[in-house]
Amino acid sequence: MSKVFIPIANVGRAHEADIYSVTITNPYSISCSGDGYLKLWPNKTLIQEQSTLKDNVISTFVHQTGLHHADAIYSVEPHDVGTVLIIATVSFSGNIHFYQFLEETEELKELDLIDEDLKKKSFWSCTWVKSNDQVVNHRFIATDIKGNTYVWRFMSTDKIVREDEEKAEYKKNLHFEFQGEIPSNEPVFATCVAASSSKGLIATGFANGSVIVSQLSTLRPLYTFEGLGREGVDQNSNSVRSVAFSPAGNLLSVANDSGSYGCVTLYETEFGERIGNLSVPTHSGQTNIGLFAHNGWIFNQAFNPSGEFIATCGYDGKVRVWDVKSKERVSTLNISASDIEIEEDIMLADENGDSLKVPPVFDVQYIAQGTLNGVGNETNEGLCCVCMDRSVRWFREAGGK
């Protein structure tokens, strides 16, 4: 059964340079770009005030070298700490920058969470692991260009136990406690990382085409998946570009290159077995042509909150939605630079003269029901993607439920 997604909002020239990442929290869609800015687009005013989207955006300059990864945690913390929104973003210089969103002033306050000795590492990707159990801490995971994975526990309070009092007191203090490191056997660029809180697993993807799944509690490697991509061609690109766990954690989706194409392979996480590929028909008589999901590299993928569907985006300027159970494609969104509503914000070529008419899609995220405002968004899920034409686009699933 196919799904139809309709565009509900878009903003062209959202940043001055390529937008490499977007993350969705309940109040904001957060984008980061090569221009060094982090921008927060309010979800609740996306539809009413589309022409003034750029006026409503909250932006902060982070680093001159540009930003390529961003992830945020939006959570209600115990012991009267209340709601916190913390954004982590990685700059091309290899630093991780943390910002806390202050709701009263609508400002971003920079936080210093990482120890000085770890700041010297050249980080690449990062992710938050939100825990739904109040006893278990949230975690923050980052990889570096040498292939190591670092894990921190996030704590919102300091526990103070006085001798004369039976009950412990908690004082608000957002801080990290370093849990440990998953060292890499060889210096290979760790391109992506994902974690499942429910199953307690971390998956790190590498540029040489391997994925290592480790235990979140002990940081011990469990499985290594290798040999992804087309075989038999020397130096053929098989870099892993994205890893994603299903919300329940029983599935791991790996997106990797196969030459200039993109493949998605699904693994179940209990025994580490491959259960299939997501692929489009290649219309070829040859049998071993490959199982491609996109006609270009796949930059990111995202499961919907129920884990039934997965959205992938690629260099071919397409966002595809797949049914996880049947492993069939249920929707394809063809992105075109001329889709942008405000004409002067349409960008057809970049500063080097390269065409952006069909802009590669660098990131896609699912939007949970009720996150966006407007008719239909209360009951339907949505998608948000960022493209090389420096645009951010929001879509909603058509029809009622």
Partner 1 sequence: MKKCLSEYMEVHDTKKSLVQALTPKCRIINMESPIESSSFQETLSTTVMFLLRSLEYSTQTLTLVLYNGKRRNKKIRFPYYGKEPHLKSSGNNVAMLVTLLRTIVERQSKFTTSTIRDIFYSNVELYQNQRNVVYWLGIISRNYKLKSRDELNIVAAQKGLIYSTIHIPVILNINTKCSINADTIELIPYINDLTIIKLDPTNEYNVIVFEKEAIFNKIVTNSINVSTFLKNTIFVTGKGYPDHLTKRFLNRLLLCNERINVKLYVDSDPEGVCIALNYINNCTQTNNIEYKGITLVKLISKRTQLLNLTHREVVLSVNMLLKITTNPQKTLTRTDHGIVTQLQRQLFFFKKGEMNACYI
Chain residues that interact with partner 1, rule: CB under 8 A? 17-18, 20, 34, 36, 64-66, 68, 92-94, 122, 145-146, 187, 189, 191, 207-208, 235-237, 239, 259-260, 296-297, 315, 350-354, 362
Q: Smallest distance from the beta carbon of 326 to partner 1, in angstroms?
A: 31
| Strand ranges of the sheet holding 211-215, from the earlier edge strand across to the other edge | 190-196, 201-206, 211-215, 221-225
Q: Smallest distance from the beta carbon of 20 to partner 1, in angstroms?
A: 6
**Encoded amino acid at 240, one letter:** V
Q: Smallest distance from the beta carbon of 34 to partner 1, in angstroms?
A: 5
**3-state secondary structure (DSSP) of residue 318:** strand
Strands (E), 189-327: 190-196, 201-206, 211-215, 221-225, 240-245, 251-258, 261-268, 274-278, 298-303, 309-314, 318-323
Residue closer to partner 1, measured from CB, 339 or 350: 350
Residue closer to partner 1, measured from CB, 12 or 66: 66
Q: Which long-range contacts (CB under 8 A, 24 or more apart) does 135-140 make?
A: 136/197, 137/177, 138/73, 138/75, 139/179, 139/195, 139/197, 139/216, 140/88, 140/113, 140/176
Q: Smallest distance from the beta carbon of 234 to partner 1, in angstroms?
A: 10
**Residue 387 near residue 393, CB atoms below 8 Å:** yes
Q: Smallest distance from the beta carbon of 315 to partner 1, in angstroms?
A: 7
Residue closer to partner 1, measured from CB, 77 or 389: 389
Residue closer to partner 1, measured from CB, 64 or 224: 64
Q: Smallest distance from the beta carbon of 188 to partner 1, in angstroms?
A: 9
H-run or E-run covering 77? strand 67-77
Residue 107, Cβ neighbours under 10 Å: how many? 12
What is the rounded CA–CA span in Å between residue 70 and residue 45? 22
Residue closer to partner 1, measured from CB, 147 or 382: 147
Question: How close are the terminal C-alpha atoms of the chain, in Å?
Answer: 15
Residue closer to partner 1, measured from CB, 221 or 259: 259
Q: Smallest distance from the beta carbon of 66 to partner 1, in angstroms?
A: 5
Residue closer to partner 1, measured from CB, 12 or 314: 314
**Residue 262 near residue 318, CB atoms below 8 Å:** no
